[in-house]
């Protein structure tokens, strides 16, 4: 009885603690991790966009073989979890590189380049689907007109179709980049020190999960919220009034 009273008296007491000094001390590592996250996001988005556009062209190409291969690649990678993709490439890329240069042993890669390759290969699938929709949204009359002017396939694509597709799809591409920015946090499972990974490292080393995880959540929330506002503005600006 006495025990029950005592525990009910404490029942409303919450045991969450938040010490800002913990965050302050971790700041240098957090900033370093954040820089890694940004670097990885920007490089993967740029590489993914280029590869994704090429994949989109392959999927829409008249060659059955090319469109099947590109389509199969995109569909398989989109059907399995990103975590599995990260593990696949993390272990597979050293072997592929060794095979390419004819080396006997798998090539060791720096953490950053390994992650960049993974995210470019993965993100290209999503950018491919976006660019494919963008390319298909260009009226065929434009292609015919360009052909009538004697333009070659690559000239038409580079000067007429892709710039317009890119413009039309810009808001979607940016939204996908925000998703990528969040997905990058998954590299922490390879013990990489991205923004979340460095926070997780400190949280476990110092036993301060509250401070570290809440700060990471707050920073992501603030940045993604702002970026989604920016995407809305871009959406209004690039909308073509027909």
The residues of the shown chain that bind other proteins, judged by CB under 8 A, are: 7, 10-16, 76, 79-84, 87-88, 91-92, 95, 98-99, 104, 129, 182-183, 185-186, 188-189, 196, 200, 203, 209-210, 213-214, 216-217, 220-221, 223-225, 228
What is the helix, strand, coil percentage profile of the chain, to 5?
80, 0, 20
Dihedral sign for Cα atoms in the order 163, 233, 40, 36 = positive
| Of residues 162 and 199, the one with the C-beta less far from other proteins | 199
**Which residue from 16, 39, 27, 18 is spatially nearest to 202, judged by alpha carbons?**
27
- Please, what is the minimum distance in Å from the beta carbon of residue 165 to other proteins? 16
Nearer Cβ to other proteins (102/139): 102
CB of 149 to other proteins, least distance (A): 32
Q: Which of 176, 173, 183, 186 is nearest to 238 (CA)?
A: 173
CB of 175 to other proteins, least distance (A): 10
Nearer to other proteins, 50 or 189 (CB): 189
Give the tokens for residue 50: 């280029």
Smallest gap from Cβ 135 to other proteins, in A, equals 15
Place of tokens 């008249």: 62
């Amino acid at each position: 009885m006495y025990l029950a009273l005592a525990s009910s008296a404490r029942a409303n007491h919450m045991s969450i603690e938040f010490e800002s000094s913990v965050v302050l001390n971790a700041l240098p590592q957090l900033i370093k991790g954040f820089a890694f996250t940004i670097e990885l996001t920007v490089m993967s988005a740029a590489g993914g966009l280029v590869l994704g556009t090429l994949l989109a062209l392959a999927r829409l190409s008249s060659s059955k073989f090319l469109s099947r291969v590109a389509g199969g690649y995109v569909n398989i990678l989109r059907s399995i979890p990103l975590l599995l993709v990260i593990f696949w490439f993390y272990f597979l890329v050293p072997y592929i590189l060794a095979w390419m240069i004819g080396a006997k042993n798998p090539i060791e890669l720096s953490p950053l380049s390994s992650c960049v390759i993974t995210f470019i290969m993965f993100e290209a699938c999503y950018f491919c689907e976006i660019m494919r929709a963008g390319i298909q949204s260009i009226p065929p009359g434009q292609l015919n007109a360009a052909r009538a002017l004697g333009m070659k396939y690559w000239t038409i694509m580079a000067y007429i179709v892709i710039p317009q597709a890119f413009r039309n799809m810009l808001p979607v591409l940016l939204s996908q980049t925000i998703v990528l920015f969040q997905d990058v946090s998954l590299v922490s499972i390879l013990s990489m020190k991205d923004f979340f990974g460095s926070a997780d490292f400190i949280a476990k080393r110092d036993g301060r999960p509250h401070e570290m995880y809440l700060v990471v959540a707050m920073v992501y929330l603030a940045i993604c919220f702002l970026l989604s506002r920016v995407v809305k503005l871009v959406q209004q600006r690039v909308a073509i009034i027909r």
